[in-house]
Amino acid sequence: QVHVLESGGGLVQPGGSLRLSCTASGRAFSVYAMGWFRQAPGKEREFVSSISWSGGYTSYSDSVKGRFTISRDNAKNTVYLQMNSLKREDTALYYCAADTHLGSYYYSDSASNDATDFDYWGQGTQVTVSS
């Protein structure tokens, strides 16, 4: 069982920044690909970013590319999402997820952008961008 916990959400003005953190339990964190997803009211959950177990591969949705940066510290069992130049449309509940399958993404040191490939999820942290 892997427990995933997000933190760092809050209220920020347009153009501002936030850094989300996500910790996952277990000594095997360093071999898990990790991902961030978000869901706005009335909308479906969407992919934001993902990172391979080594950190050598990262992926972003077109809507956040160039503004958000994902990173990880395996010694701290933590993955981060640095969000800059925030827009009102970034308002959503942000979820962190772990892919513990050790399948093709593990062996290729890459990460999925499909939520169905992630098997452990946190409860989410709210990000609200408003003036």
Q: Which residues 6+ apart lie within 8 Å of 41 measured at CB?
A: none
Q: d(Cα 10, Cα 122) in Å, to the nearest integer?
A: 16
pLDDT tens digits along 118-127: 999 999 999 9
CA dihedral sign, ordered 8, 9, 10, 13:
positive
Cα 30 to chain center, whole Å?
15
Q: d(Cα 8, Cα 61) in Å, to the nearest integer?
A: 20
Q: d(Cα 100, Cα 97) in Å, to the nearest integer?
A: 10
pLDDT tens digits along 38-62: 999 999 999 999 999 999 999 999 9
Give the per-residue pLDDT at 114: 96
